[in-house]
Each structure stands twice: as structure tokens, then as C-alpha cells.
Amino acid sequence: MYDHLRRGAVSGAVGGAVYGLYVALVGAPVVEYAEHLADHGAAAAGHDHAGAALGDGLAGAVSVGGSAALGLVAGLVVFGAVAYVVEPALPAVGGSYLLGLCGFLSASAVPWLVLPPAAPGVEPTVSATAGLTLYAGLAVAGATACVAAGAAFHRLPGRAAGAVGAVAVFAAVVGGAVFLAPSVAYEGSVPAGLGTAYTGVVVAGQLLLWGAVATVHDRLRRRPRPTATAAPTVAD
């Protein structure tokens, strides 16, 4: 268990650092521009620009730090604790990337089917508590779909049948969860190009996060363990 948590922590720390750098260089400027457009009316009415700049700088630092921490949490939970439980079912080659794919699907892609990422200035009509509950429920559904798909793959004979069965089971579980989830409307607007760019930045960032953590974990997982050498014996 210790080795799994250690590998997960190292992978998450490196992946979180990469993701934090991405947020600082790519994500934060897009968010700041979108917030500038959303708050343009308030700024024209005499907004305190110095205070806004200080607030934006602090918010950016918190965002980058939170992004790095997210990578560490993903490493510890998915590539540490979860990897320890499902290790026997993971393939020797590509197992880390399979974990990363399941993490991306569970934490991001499946919830986005109902609650897609929206640029500043566009808000869902549900309350924050209801939105968080819905997001968490869909994340659990995504994780359940991944586990069920893995079980189907191992139970069905042959790789082709297992792959088809895994995809079908995953689609059925996720489709049922999305069907049962309440629909969420959004209010507000931003320029169409900006909204598309913001969504692309968020999706690319999550893919980068899970891909970076999985890549480091794969290298650590395949690293040969040092073998203990037997102490020389003195012949009688």
C-alpha cells in the first residue's frame, strides 16, 4: 500500500505542477479576459481598477495553487488508493493510462454531459449546492461505469468481445445516469468564440492533467525494483 501511495503522490505532484503551469500560462488569461467582458459594465461605471488588479492577481495565484493541489489529490486517490485495489485487473502495459482515462471520464467528462464548463458570465440556473450534488452524483456514476466496463471486459471471452461489451456497459450506465439526471439550463452570454475557446481550454487542461499524472505513474510503475544481494558466505 505504501508503494502505491508513494507512486501516486509523486505522479500527482509532477502532474499537478504541469497542470498548474498550464493554468498560469493558458487558462488564467482566458478566464481573466472572460471576466473582463462580464464585468465590463461595472468597470465602466467607476470600478476600482487597482483593487481589481490586486484581486485578480490573488485569485490567479489561488487558482494555480489549487490546480497543483488537484493533481496531488488525483495522484493519491486514483493512482494510489484505487490503483492498489484494482492492481490485479490492470494490464501490465498501459494500466496507468487506463486509470488516467477512467479518472478523466469520472471526474470530468461524464459530469460535463449535464453540467458542461461555462465561461464567466454564464451560470447554471441551479443552486451551488444542487449543482455540486449533481456533479458528485454523475462522477460516482462515471466511476461505476468504469468499474462495470472493466468487469465486463474480463468476464467476456476474447479481447474483441470484451472490448465491445465494456463499451456497451459503460454507455448503458452513463446513459442511464444522464437520463435520470435533471436538466440544467444556463443563463448569461459571452461571445460565441470566447465560449468555445474557454470550453476547449478547460477540456485540454483536464486531459493534460490526467495524461501527465498517468505518464509519470507509468514510468514509476515500470521501473525495476532494486534486488537485494545476498551477503557473501565464508566457506568452511
> Model confidence over 180-221: pLDDT tens digits?
999 888 887 777 788 888 889 999 999 999 999 999 999 988
Asked whether residue 182 is domain-assigned, the answer is no
- Domain count within the chain: 1
Write out the residue range of the structural domain in which residue 84 sits.
1-45+54-103+190-223
Q: Is residue 170 part of a domain?
A: no
Q: Is 108 a member of any domain?
A: no
What's the pLDDT tens digit per position in 3-23? 888 888 999 999 989 998 998
Residue 18 lies in a domain: yes
Nearest alpha carbon to residue 149 among 110, 199, 189, 191: 110
User: CA-based diameter of the chain, in Å?
Assistant: 95
> Is residue 230, in this structure, part of any structural domain at all?
no
pTM reported for the whole predicted model:
0.81
Q: Is residue 180 part of a domain?
A: no
The phi and psi torsions of 48 (rounded to 5 degrees) equal -75, 100
Is residue 13 in some structural domain?
yes
Classify residue 120: in a domain, yes or no: no
Is pLDDT at 232 greater than 90 in this prediction? no
Summarize pLDDT for 94-115 with one digit per residue, the tens.
888 999 999 999 999 999 999 9
Beta pairing partners, 123: 187
